[in-house]
């Protein structure tokens, strides 16, 4: 493996240069590095440099969770000209990942990925040098140290989710290091996860790291203990999940020292022990967060005279899009959501502005995701015994009792009727009401008309929704598409919400045979969506009334609940992988309605858009072939 050397080109900008290899090697006694820590102001810039490596969670080009999974589809034109081109994450989903030039390479910082090993190196430099700064109080130094320890841990964690076991980079290697220090091995999976957790524990134990951010104007987005507790819980649930927890598929992943880097040979008791550790971490995070006042969001504003139904929909939307609401534990304030919102907006909600040529509405939600949402009885569409004799494609006018969900009298299909509130809050589709866009009287809300020739239908090459569904959930109700512009009500991207934490805890409880306790936390999330508790809903309405009483059945319920509650938030992509279900779930066809049709009877015909092929090697990113050629100690990932 080649080595890259970092040095400071200017003190003011803290711009770092390196050659293109992951292991940063820092020569001793370089003055420019030392000068970066001679005064507080320059050290603070270096702190922000460390923060700058946090992946852009809201980017459809930099976060694979949007386009490399099964929630969204985009047109070829949008992919090639606005969504990453040859580096677009959707190319991972379409089978174009490769070992010569891996897409979204976060190992080396190429093909749309950030160089996270360089970020880790900068964190190491910061931790080595921060105590040299003379004009700082110790309390502030210690706070910054705790923040950077978390960042260093998080960057390792992001790499683990992509690559599996990774080389831990605890310290930078000096320029004159011996070859055995440069030609690194991948640590084992257990060592990789344990290292991340140990760093997070160090951050948590620091008395100088604030429990939560109090100064919302100047410090929102900075790391606090509530964030560390919550992400630590997610890390441990991930480590306990089937993909990582003694997965026998990777028994052949043995390096040239004879080390089983995936730790495949472990007992059932050892597997369960990881779930027990995850359960405790989740409970600690919940107790800590709730003790600070975090709670599930509910829209209670009296600013507008709107129906309870519209308030219920805003409870779902605003939990994601309302700035710094009480449910968001970690909001990434540097994640730019304007482009994400614009591409979730259908053109022509206001028919008078249908001629807007902005590149909007390109994010098409797959029909699979629309099916995922429950019926209004709180059970899956295919399990609801009240719908077994219903023709889901039957065309009929939207009834009066749906007047706050659908345009009354507008022709739709049974599929769109009597669904849970999250269906109408999260999706925009033909005939669906869209509260907001400058129209804040819900008795006169805009509604989408997306068939061919209608105001929100496709008519320009740069904007084409290929399924008929848009992610309403990602757009704030105060954002607006004008005649020639887009006004974005921006928000911090919710990396972790309390509802996410509740469902992680429910998952861990179920895996340690505490299903009854798990139901408590699932039901809290369901209550926010105005659904009956799992026990009542399944008993009364499901064709499998005892499903929730078994561990396997409750596991499926939790997985679907996460898919619905956290839809379009960058969670499903990682969930499906860690559950070791991607080779099944991601191989299901991408479909949508017939968007080229004008008449309802033609429009509501399911169309195959793409048939993906997800193979076992696709669970983990390949390490660039050049890296493994340079360092024969670096074991390549499975089947690459």
Give domain status of residue 75, yes or no. Answer: yes
Q: Give residue 221's region: left, alpha or beta (phi > 0; psi -120 to 50).
A: left
Q: Which two tokens stand for residue 39?
A: 């005064």
Q: Where are the beta strands (DSSP E) in 482-559?
A: 486-487, 493-497
Q: What is the 3-state secondary structure (H, E, C) of 566-628?
A: CCCCCCHHHHHHHCCCHHHHCCCCEEECCCCCCCHHHHCCCEEEECCCCCHHHHCCCCCHHHH
What pLDDT score was predicted for residue 5? 34
Integer Cα distance of 634 and 29 in angstroms = 30
CB 255 within 8 A of CB 635: yes
Domain count along the chain: 1
Q: How far is CA 5 from the centre of its chain?
A: 32
Integer Cα distance of 156 and 192 in angstroms = 8
Residue 86, SS3 per DSSP? helix
* DSSP 8-state class, residue 624: P
pTM: 0.94
Integer Cα distance of 522 and 617 in angstroms = 33
Give domain status of residue 177, yes or no. Answer: yes
The percent helix, strand, coil of the chain (3-state, each to 5) is 45, 10, 50
Give domain status of residue 516, yes or no. Answer: no
For 434-471, b where at least 16 C-beta lie within 10 A, e where not — what string? bbbbebbebeebbbbbbbeebbbbbbeeebbbbbbbbb
Give domain status of residue 518, yes or no. Answer: no
Give domain status of residue 637, yes or no. Answer: no
Measured from the Cβ of residue 354, the count of other Cβ atoms closer than 10 Å reads 17
Q: Which two tokens stand for residue 334?
A: 């540097």
Q: Which two tokens stand for residue 131?
A: 């105590």
CB 209 within 8 A of CB 147: yes
Integer Cα distance of 537 and 524 in angstroms = 14
Residue 68, SS3 per DSSP? coil
Integer Cα distance of 576 and 580 in angstroms = 6
What pLDDT score was predicted for residue 484? 81
* DSSP 8-state class, residue 599: S
Phi then psi dihedrals of residue 246, to 5 deg = 70, 35
Integer Cα distance of 23 and 12 in angstroms = 25
Beta strands 486-487 and 607-610 are unpaired
Integer Cα distance of 508 and 244 in angstroms = 15
CA gyration radius, the chain:
25
CB 585 within 8 A of CB 575: no
Residue 30, SS3 per DSSP? coil
Residue 239, SS3 per DSSP? helix
What pLDDT score was predicted for residue 32? 59
Taking the alpha carbons of 250, 254, 258, 261 in that order, is the dihedral positive or negative? Answer: negative
Give domain status of residue 191, yes or no. Answer: yes
Element (H, E) at 608: strand 607-610
The DSSP result for 523-535, as a single string, is HHHHHHTT---HH
Tell me the sheet residues that pair with 640. Answer: none
CB 186 within 8 A of CB 159: no
What pLDDT score was predicted for residue 17? 28
CATH of the domain at 192: 1.25.40.390
Integer Cα distance of 527 and 246 in angstroms = 35
Residues of the chain whose pLDDT is less than 70?
1-32, 34, 175
The DSSP result for 95-156, as a single string, is T---SSS-TTBTTTTBTT---HHHHHHHHHHHHHHGGG-SSS-HHHHHHHHHHHHHHHHHHH
Give domain status of residue 350, yes or no. Answer: no
Non-local CB neighbours of 280 within 8 Å, separated by 6+ positions: none
Half-sphere exposure of 391 (CA within 13 A, CB side): 6
Integer Cα distance of 573 and 65 in angstroms = 5
- Determine the structural domain holding residue 191 and report its residue range: 4-294+622-630
CB 33 within 8 A of CB 50: no
| Diameter over CA atoms, the chain | 77
The DSSP result for 290-312, as a single string, is HHTT---------SS---HHHHH
* Geometric angle at alpha carbon 342, from 337 and 343, rounded to 5°: 100
Beta strands 24-25 and 4-5 are parallel
What pLDDT score was predicted for residue 33? 75
* DSSP 8-state class, residue 436: B
Give domain status of residue 472, yes or no. Answer: no
Taking the alpha carbons of 412, 415, 420, 426 in that order, is the dihedral positive or negative? Answer: negative
Integer Cα distance of 198 and 605 in angstroms = 53
End-to-end CA distance of the chain: 18
Among 481, 503, 489, 518, CA closest to 569: 503
Taking the alpha carbons of 368, 372, 373, 375 in that order, is the dihedral positive or negative? Answer: positive
What pLDDT score was predicted for residue 178? 74
């Amino acid at each position: 493996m080649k080595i890259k050397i970092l040095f400071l080109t200017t003190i003011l900008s803290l711009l770092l240069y390196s050659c293109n290899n992951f292991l940063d090697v820092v020569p001793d006694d370089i003055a420019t590095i030392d000068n970066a820590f001679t005064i507080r102001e320059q050290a603070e810039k270096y702190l922000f440099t460390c923060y700058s490596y946090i992946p852009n969670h809201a980017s459809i080009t930099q976060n694979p969770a949007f386009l490399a999974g099964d929630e969204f589809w985009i047109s070829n034109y949008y992919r090639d000209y606005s969504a990453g081109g040859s580096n677009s994450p959707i190319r991972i989903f379409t089978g174009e990942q490769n070992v010569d030039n891996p897409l979204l390479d976060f190992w080396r910082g190429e093909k749309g990925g950030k160089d996270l090993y360089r970020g880790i190196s900068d964190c190491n430099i910061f931790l080595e040098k921060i105590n040299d700064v003379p004009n700082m109080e110790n309390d502030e130094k210690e706070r910054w140290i705790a923040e950077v320890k978390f960042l260093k841990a998080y960057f390792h964690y992001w790499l683990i989710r992509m690559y599996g076991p990774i080389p831990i980079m605890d310290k930078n290697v000096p320029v004159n290091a011996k070859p055995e220090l440069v030609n690194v091995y991948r640590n084992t999976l257990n060592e990789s996860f344990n290292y991340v957790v140990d760093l997070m524990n160090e951050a948590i134990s620091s008395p100088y790291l604030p429990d939560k951010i109090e100064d919302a104007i100047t410090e929102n987005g900075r790391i606090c203990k509530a964030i560390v507790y919550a992400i630590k819980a997610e890390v441990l649930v991930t480590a306990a999940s089937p993909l990582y927890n003694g997965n026998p598929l990777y028994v052949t992943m043995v390096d040239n020292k004879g080390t089983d880097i995936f730790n495949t040979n472990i007992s059932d008791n050892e597997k369960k022990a990881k779930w027990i550790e995850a359960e405790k971490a989740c409970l600690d995070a919940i107790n800590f967060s709730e003790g600070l006042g975090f709670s599930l969001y509910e829209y209670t504003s009296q600013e507008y005279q709107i129906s309870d139904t519209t308030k219920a929909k805003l409870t779902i939307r605003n939990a994601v899009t309302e700035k710094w609401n009480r449910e968001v534990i970690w909001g990434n304030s540097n994640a730019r959501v304007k482009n994400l919102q614009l591409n979730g907006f259908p053109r022509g909600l206001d028919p008078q502005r249908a001629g807007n040529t902005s590149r909007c509405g390109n994010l098409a939600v797959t029909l699979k995701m629309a099916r995922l949402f429950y019926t209004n009885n709180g059970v899956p569409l295919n399990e609801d015994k009240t719908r077994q004799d219903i023709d889901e494609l039957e065309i009929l006018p939207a009834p009066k009792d749906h007047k706050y969900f659908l345009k009354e009298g507008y022709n739709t299909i049974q599929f769109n009727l009597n669904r849970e509130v999250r269906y109408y809050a999260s999706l925009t589709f033909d005939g669906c009401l869209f509260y907001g866009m400058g129209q804040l009287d819900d008795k006169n809300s805009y509604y989408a008309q997306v068939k061919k020739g209608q105001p929100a239908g496709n008519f320009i090459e740069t904007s084409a929704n290929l399924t008929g569904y848009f992610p309403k959930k990602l757009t704030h109700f105060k954002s607006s598409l004008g005649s020639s512009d887009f006004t974005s009500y921006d928000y911090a991207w919710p990396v972790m919400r309390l509802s996410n934490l509740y469902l992680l805890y429910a998952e861990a409880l179920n895996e340690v045979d505490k299903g009854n306790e798990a139901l408590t936390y699932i039901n809290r999330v369901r209550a926010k969506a105005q659904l009956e508790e799992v026990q009542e809903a399944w008993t009364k309405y499901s064709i499998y009334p005892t499903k929730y009483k078994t561990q396997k059945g409750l596991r499926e319920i939790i997985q679907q609940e996460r898919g619905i509650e956290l839809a379009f938030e960058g969670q499903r992509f990682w969930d499906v992988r860690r559950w070791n279900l991607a080779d099944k779930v991601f191989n299901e066809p991408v479909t949508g309605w017939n968007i080229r049709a004008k008449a309802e009877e033609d429009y509501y015909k399911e169309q195959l858009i793409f048939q993906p092929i997800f193979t076992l090697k696709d669970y983990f990113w390949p390490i660039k072939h050049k890296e493994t050629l340079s360092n024969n100690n670096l074991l390549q990932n499975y089947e690459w």
